[in-house]
Amino acid sequence: MLALRLRTCIVVGASAVVECTSRPYDLLPISRPYAVITDTVAVFAFPFDTVAAYTWDEPDSTHYLGRPEFYWQVGWQVSVDRHGLDPQGLLLVAEWRTGGPHHGNLQLLLAGREVDIVTWCSPCSTPAVTTVPDSAVTFTVDGRQLALVVHGAAAIRRIFRARPEAVTFERGARDGSSAEWQVTVSTPRP
């Protein structure tokens, strides 16, 4: 579980602050999505997954190696002059693999997968993105909640040239179903 340090103040009346303390706390899973970016870590937690058990890698008439089965994406806006230069999202895809079908929970579905950094391709004639994995970007599954995590100050500076005020969470499946949430980014101060 991730731990952050937040400043807590007890306020009496409209303007009198009695006590302020800075203490570590664990980011506990909550049912709604949340986004936190600090100087050293970024956490993008999806809402609790409504699916208790998944089936994946089912051989059917449309299967092919690498077919997206399920995906989870967090995206943000960058200034127009930075399109194609700065990352605009994080993407975790469960692609079809041989050896199925498999059944299990979210953690089993995502075992061995990587989070990719998404950058829109500016010179491409049709809308396209480039994706690259980064060892500083990982994911965690706590029960039925998935979080994409960016670790380290260097990775934060590299991925978030300008800190987004809001992000869009999206998850989807091969059947075309998807869900989307707009979330304001929290930036706690040390």
Residue 17 lies in a domain: no
Residue 4 lies in a domain: no
Query: Which of 19 and 156 is assigned the larger pLDDT?
Result: 156
Long-range pairs for 82-87: beta carbons < 8 A, 24 or more residues apart? 82/161, 82/162, 83/120, 83/122, 84/119, 84/120, 84/121, 84/122, 84/123, 85/119, 85/122, 86/119, 86/161, 86/162, 87/117, 87/118, 87/119, 87/159, 87/160
Q: Is 86 helix (H, G, I), strand (E, B) or coil?
A: coil
Does position 105 have pLDDT exceeding 80, yes or no?
A: yes
Which pLDDT tens digit goes with each residue over 8-67?
A: 333 333 333 333 333 343 444 467 899 999 999 999 999 998 888 999 888 887 777 777
Task: Choose among 136, 137, 152, 149: nearest CA to 40.
Answer: 152
Residue 61 lies in a domain: yes
Count Cβ atoms below 10 Å from residue 87 Cβ, excluding itself.
24
Strands 34-37 and 178-186: parallel
Against a cut of 0.85, is the pTM above it?
no
Does position 143 have pLDDT exceeding 80, yes or no?
A: yes
At 163, is the pLDDT very low, low, confident or very high (cuts 50, 70, 90)?
very high
The number of domains in the chain is 1
Residue 69 lies in a domain: yes
- Quick one: what percent of the chain has pLDDT higher than 90? 54
Residue numbers of the domain that contains 75: 28-186
Residue 13 lies in a domain: no
Residue 169 lies in a domain: yes
Residue 10 lies in a domain: no
Whole-number pLDDT of residue 190: 63
Residue 15 lies in a domain: no
Query: Which of 169 and 65 is assigned the larger pLDDT?
Result: 169
Does position 71 have pLDDT exceeding 80, yes or no?
A: yes
